[in-house]
Amino acid sequence: ILVPIDGSQNSVQASELAYRMAKLSGAHVTLLYVVDSAVLDEIARFSAQQRAEVREELHENGRQYLAYVEGLAQQENLTVQQEIREGIPYEEIVVLATAVGVDLIVMGHVGQRGPRRILIGSVTERVIEFAHCPVLVAKL
């Protein structure tokens, strides 16, 4: 089971659902945080030092989000794998899912950027469109 994490409450709830499913099925869970290349492109005009600092801060945010969600897994006596990548979020999710051969992607219906009024976020929509496996959208 692949669970993309973006720091939103929706992604945390999706991870909790994935953990329940993993406990029932014995499935392995991989958590993925993607540093969005669009954000990195926005800082291209900064100095090299500023770019490096922002990139490191984005990676640190990802490590903190993943550590928090991994802690929830440990409370359920589950071991998870963590992955941080840079790129376009939906592409990195689909690429990792294909490379690892996951059977299921579990993700929130909207992420960190999505307004509450929309039914489904753009990243989720694109993952559904391009993933080779089923995508369970957790709307809790």
Residue ranges of domains in the chain: 2-138
Percent of the chain topping pLDDT 70: 91
CATH of 2-138, one of 3.40.50.1980, 3.60.20.40, 3.40.50.620, 1.10.10.10: 3.40.50.620
Q: Are 93 and 34 in contact (CB under 8 A)?
A: yes
Report CA dihedral (81, 56, 16, 123) to the nearest 10 degrees: -100
Q: In whole numbers, what is the pLDDT of the chain averaged over residues?
A: 91
CA distances (Å), origin 11, targets 3, 7, 54, 112, 120: 8, 7, 23, 9, 13
**Structure pTM?**
0.90
The least confident of 67-76, 93-102, 108-117 is 108-117
Q: What is the mean pLDDT of residues 69-89?
A: 97
> Would you state the pLDDT for residue 117?
43
CA distances (Å), origin 90, targets 21, 48, 49: 23, 27, 28
Q: What is the mean pLDDT of residues 114-130?
A: 74
Q: How far apart are CA 85 and CA 31, in angstroms?
A: 11
> Would you state the pLDDT for residue 112?
53
> Would you state the pLDDT for residue 45?
84
> Would you state the pLDDT for residue 114?
47
